[in-house]
Chains A and B, each alone.
Chain A
Amino acid sequence: MIYSLLLMLGVGVLAGVFGAILGIGGGLIVTPVLTLMLGLDIKYAIGASVIAVIATSSGSTIAYLKDEMLNLRVAMFLEIATTVGAILGAVLTGIVHATFLYFLFGALLVFTTYNMIRKLMNKNSDTPNVKADALATKLNLNGSYYEKTTGQEVDYQVENVPGGFSMMFGAGFASGLLGIGSGAFKVLAMDTIMHMPLKPSSATSNLMMGVTAAASAMVYFFNGSIKPGIAAPLAIGILVGATIGSRIMQRLKPRFIRMLFVPVMFYLGIQMILKGFGVTI
């Protein structure tokens, strides 16, 4: 009991730190550890990873709010697209072809990897140079955040709002239908499509992850998928890790965070494409 308790706390801290920095939730680290290392049934692993997502979100959101890193308007506006998409996806399970969606969204993530590498090659890519579109101004989506590494207040504009909204709807739809996390797609929508800076994108994604997961968590909580012996120490570890991670994130150079994203996005993309072929890694 002590061993699994300490393991869960440790895994939680690790998942929390990474989840808070990247804004993609903790499932990426938590699920493989639980299924591969502990041989836990996938049902309980999913239950635990939903708790992990909420703990990451709530743990890091507290710190972000104080530092005004996240964009609350973008979060709430896009959250409508995600949740409606997710509900529709859940309803249409079995009607829409899952294989096609795996290929489509896997390919999107691989493309994002390419896009992120391209941005890394271009030295000045993380200095904002984006024209606000009329819709972004009308919806008051443009914002600013404090960039700790340069000590500057960065004002940024948001563009291609319909594109981002559609992407979030699609991501929500895929997550509802396929039962996958959509954190990577949230960052994709904000960073790649709407051209928000990476740090607010990641912070905003983290908030949205928690809100989206909260609804599905109710299902898992009441159907017995959440094992307290595992989820409880995991949640505590993640809350601690996410608080630390969000503080670390503030000090990291956007360029470095982008480097972390490249292998993660590529891995997730390949994983999804393989799932389309019926291979689970």
Chain B
Amino acid sequence: MPKDSKAKEMHQVEMMIGYILRIGVVVSAIVIVIGIIMMLVQGTGGYPNGVQPTGFRSIFNGVMALKPYAVMMFGLFLLILTPTLRVAVSIYAFAVERDRLYVWITTIVLIILIVASVIGYLGH
């Protein structure tokens, strides 16, 4: 295994990926917390009992109307996306490492994940 310069480059890439993932998770957490604070301030989720926004359109409209539940759902949606982000940046990490086998393996995982997500969205 060639050390030093390559190890250093890998280390930098890993730190950068760690940073990207941290931003992704923190942003989703901030959005969720804003939603919770809005709910505490307004004293309601902004929707009738037992109802919550589930589609892209209703969540978007709800966020625009500053409805707490819509903001929370938006944050939760961002959270659900973070593992996909994780897989996507891993492909980049393997590419930097010139590990073609794992670029392929990880790409397959990403494709399976996206296909399953789309099926999940369409099949609801």
Contacts and interface: CB of A to CB of B under 8 A. Distances in A.
Interface of A: 1-2, 5, 51, 54-55, 57-59, 61-62, 65-66, 68, 72-73, 76-77, 79-80, 83-84, 87, 139-140, 207, 210-211, 213-219, 221-224, 226-229, 231-233, 235-236, 239
B117 A214 contact: yes
Contacts of B32: 232, 235-236
A77 to B, nearest CB: 6
A234 B55 CA distance: 21
Nearest to B51: A224
B36 interface: yes
Interface in B1-38: 14-15, 17-18, 21-22, 24-25, 29, 32-33, 35-36
Given A139-B101, A211-B87, A228-B73, A218 B109 contact: no
B39 interface: yes
B21 A65 contact: yes
A83 B82 CA distance: 17
A222 B55 contact: yes
B95 to A, nearest CB: 13
Interface string B70-101: 00110111011111101100100100000101
Contacts of B105: 76-77, 80
Given A77-B105, A80-B112, A214-B113, A232 B17 contact: no
A58 B79 contact: yes
Contact of A222 (B15, B87, B120): B120
Interface of B is mostly: helix
B55 to A, nearest CB: 7
A32 to B, nearest CB: 22
Contacts of A58: 21, 24-25, 79, 82-83, 86
Contacts of B54: 221-224
Nearest to B14: A65
Contacts of A72: 90, 93
B22 A62 contact: yes
Contacts of A211: 83-84, 86-87, 109, 113
A62 B120 contact: no
A222 B121 contact: yes
Nearest to B122: A222
Nearest to A5: B36
Given A62-B25, A236-B32, A51 B18 contact: no
A51 B79 contact: yes
